[in-house]
Amino acid sequence: MADTVPDRACRIEVLLMDCDGVLTEGQIYLLPDGTELKAFHAQDGHGLKLARRAGLRTGVITGRYSTALEQRARETGIEFLCQGAGDKARHLAELMAIQGFSPEAVAFIGDDLPDVPVMTQVGLAIAVANAVPEVKQVAHYVTTRTGGRGAVREVVELILKAQDKWKAELLFLA
């Protein structure tokens, strides 16, 4: 019998994700001077902070380089930041080997084809609501919210609820 999503979520120690299309809506604004602009959702940012406080480690594996993402990682406590990852699965394998994570302890949120090889190697594969069909096919869970619009927060809440940590985080905020 296959594990349920809550069963898988109970084992998660690290939440990894793509950036464009997951932490953002996917648009990339390039100014004439080469500056790149990204828009991040406040609820996702707060969710990442809640995750960190609850002991869930977070990271991004993305194919692009972005100073905006570096700043957002600092602001939200994202621990692992792998930019320019042409082969995301290789970077995932290196991170798991260095940190000692088992595949079952890793969740990954993706939206597009470069995320599929990573998603097939983790314990909890998640697609955002607006992901391409191939990503949704390999996902254990598809968010109700779209990338850049609270999908990361939804996943953090899912994991923390499965681990019975959500109520404690709410009490901490009170």
**Mean pLDDT in the chain?**
94
Which conformational region is residue 12 in: left (phi greater than 0), alpha (psi within -120 to 50 degrees), or beta? beta
Domains held by the chain: number:
1
Q: What is the pLDDT of residue 2?
A: 61
| pLDDT over 80 at 172, yes or no | no
Taking the CA atoms of 104, 109, 110 and 115 in sequence, report the sign of the dihedral they define. Answer: negative
pTM: 0.94
Q: What is the pLDDT of residues 139-157, one digit of tens each?
A: 999 999 999 999 999 999 9
What gap in Å lies between CA 50 and CA 166, rounded to an integer? 9
Comparing 26-30, 58-62, 70-74, the range with the smallest average pLDDT is 26-30
pLDDT tens, position by position, 158-170? 999 999 998 876 6
Domain that residue 108 falls in: 5-173
CATH number, residue 109: 3.40.50.1000
Res. 90: pLDDT tops 80:
yes
Q: What is the pLDDT of residue 173?
A: 61
